[in-house]
């Protein structure tokens, strides 16, 4: 006994037609409805196009949030948080990658450490952060993002 007709997805009987192998009776080369829907969704996603994030605005917002939380160096916090976000690492992994302890990274991300304590490995990342803005720009000036 097979299950009721299912318009999309797997049949209720586990995908095998009665008395046959899992691929028996299927037309080869014909896309399944779910695969076609996933492919269409991926084509519409911004990353499928030439979309690039607005890092300048992101740095401004991160710095404003750090300042609102009382950070002494909000631009340092914004730059370090942006770089860790781009890397996609958790705190421990990013600290190891950069060559600092987790406590030092927490101070940098919290804006409790000056720009002079930012590791050289972070400053060497090309095109993501304008370190002159982090080092000495006036607080009201928006960050300059290096061209990608």
**Rg value, the chain, Cα:** 25
19-36 pLDDT, tens digit each: 555 555 555 566 567 888
Each domain of the chain, given as residue ranges in start order, spans 55-136
Q: Is 100 helix (H, G, I), strand (E, B) or coil?
A: coil
- CA atoms of 143 and 129, how far apart (whole Å): 8
Residue 56 has pLDDT above 70, yes or no: yes
CA nearest neighbour of 85 among 95, 94, 73, 72:
94
What are the φ/ψ torsions at residue 70 (nearest 5 degrees)? 90, 20
pTM for this entry: 0.61
Q: Is 69:37 a contact under the CB 8 Å cutoff?
A: no
Phi, psi of 71 (to 5 degrees): -70, 135
What CATH class is the domain 55-136? mainly alpha
Which residues are CB-contacts of 74 (< 8 A; sequence separation ≥ 6)? 62, 63, 64, 65, 66, 67, 111, 139
Q: Give the pLDDT confidence of 58-115 residue by residue, as tens digits.
A: 999 999 999 999 999 999 999 999 999 999 999 999 999 999 999 999 999 999 999 9
């Amino acid at each position: 006994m097979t299950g009721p007709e299912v318009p999309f997805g797997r049949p209720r009987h586990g995908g095998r037609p009665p008395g046959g192998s899992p691929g028996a009776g299927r037309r080869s080369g014909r896309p399944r409805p779910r695969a076609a829907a996933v492919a269409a969704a991926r084509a519409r996603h911004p990353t499928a196009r030439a979309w690039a994030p607005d890092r300048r605005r992101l740095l401004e917002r991160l710095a404003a949030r750090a300042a609102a939380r009382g950070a002494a160096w909000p631009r340092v916090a914004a730059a370090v948080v942006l770089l860790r976000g781009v890397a996609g690492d958790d705190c421990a992994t990013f600290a190891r990658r950069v060559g600092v302890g987790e406590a030092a990274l927490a101070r940098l991300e919290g804006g409790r450490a000056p720009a002079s304590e930012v590791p050289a490995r972070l400053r060497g990342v090309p095109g993501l952060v304008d370190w002159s803005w982090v080092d000495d720009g006036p607080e009201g000036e928006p960050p300059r993002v290096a061209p990608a």
